[in-house]
Amino acid sequence: MTSSVRVSIADPGSPGGGTDVLDRELEKLLNEEAIEPGDHERFSHYVQKDKILQSALTGKPVKALCGKKWTPGRDPEKFPVCPTCKAIYEKMKAE
């Protein structure tokens, strides 16, 4: 007969409990975060500068003004600006 041990994160002294479980769960969620395929391969998008830096340091995806999520890695100067991002940016600038 195999026995199983149930561990609570409320008991940090137990094996597998405490912040180790939270860290593993957070890492799993971040790795499973959906990165949308699509036009990000064809356009450069507007993203907050601090988010670009954060993504470069952590490898986490960013979210553009148009809602597109992806991990930046290409030179944005080589692509035309996303029309949706541009329209949103112009509207924000006008306000």
Q: What pLDDT was estimated at residue 11?
A: 44
pLDDT in tens, the chain (95 residues): 444 444 444 444 444 445 676 666 666 655 555 555 554 468 889 999 899 889 989 999 999 999 999 888 888 888 899 999 999 999 998 88
E-strand stretches of 9-67: 62-63
Task: For the full predicted model, state whether its pTM sits above 0.75.
Answer: no
Domain borders along the chain are 7-34, 37-94
By CB neighbour count within 10 A (0-12 exposed, 13-18 middle, 19+ buried), where does 70 fall? Answer: buried
